[in-house]
Amino acid sequence: MKMCINQLKSKTDTIDFKECTQWKNDPPKRLDAKTIRAFIFQCRNIPAADDSGTSDCFITVWNPDGILHKTKVIEETLNPIYMETIQF
């Protein structure tokens, strides 16, 4: 990811990214691998999807490598509590 932060003097000003040193260099070919850990706690006010006015809630998380994690399904609620940790 390349980022260039500039402060514009007015709303009509434009940024010339060619002037930013970050944009002159190519990014590295392969970035170091990192571990991401997420704690999935709860959801609130999920829209109703069932005829009973509730939902069967679950969360799906994936990364760019295609690794997929799906939480357990919590049935008939609009405010599920998961208490799950996932790590990629």
Q: According to the model, what pLDDT value does residue 80 have?
A: 94
* Domain ranges (residues) in the chain: 35-87
| Average confidence (pLDDT) over 25-35 | 70
The terminus-to-terminus CA distance of the chain in angstroms comes to 20
Q: According to the model, what pLDDT value does residue 8 have?
A: 65
Superfamily of domain 35-87: C2 domain (2.60.40.150)
pLDDT of 58 above 80:
yes
| Average confidence (pLDDT) over 15-21 | 71
User: How does residue 3 score in pLDDT terms, banded at 50, 70 and 90?
Assistant: low
Q: Cα(56)–Cα(72) distance, rounded to whole angstroms? A: 10
